[in-house]
Amino acid sequence: MIGARSDYEDEIGWPGLASTVRTAAAGTPVVVASNYGEAGALELFGSRLPPVASGDMSFRYWHPPLGAATGVVVGYDASDLARLCASHRTVARVTMPRGVSNEERGALVARCTFAGGSLAAVWPDLLYPKP
């Protein structure tokens, strides 16, 4: 969207992001978003989603219990997935309306079996900035 402030442009497409993740997350115990914008969008528009977690910025303090062995991860690239997941399968990519080129466009949505057996085992790797 030409001329929009980046913070506003980043919010365009949030309902679609939530819809994509809702479909991908069916039957999983947790959704892990790579940044607080994605996590906030999922909290705001993600009715019927499992709990949403993100290690980004202050969102790290509002996480659900970390015992889940599996979940859906949003916005991590292939190298992150290889590190965070013992196994993973890409189930979707985030789409955005035409003309919107924010960082979520094309982001991976994947089902993940967390390395180390739980979200707790990889949680320290998800924290940004690092403590």
Work out whether the CA dihedral 46, 103, 105, 94 comes out positive or negative.
negative
- pTM score of the predicted model: 0.93
Centre a 10 Å sphere on the Cβ of residue 25 and count the other Cβ atoms it contains: 23
The domain ranges of the chain are: 6-126
How would you write the pLDDT of the chain (131 residues) with one tens digit per residue?
A: 556 677 777 788 899 999 999 999 999 999 999 999 999 999 999 999 999 999 999 999 999 999 999 999 999 999 999 999 999 999 999 988 887 778 888 999 999 999 999 999 999 999 999 98
Nearby residues of 102 by Cβ (< 8 Å), 6 or more positions away: 6, 9, 10, 12, 13, 96
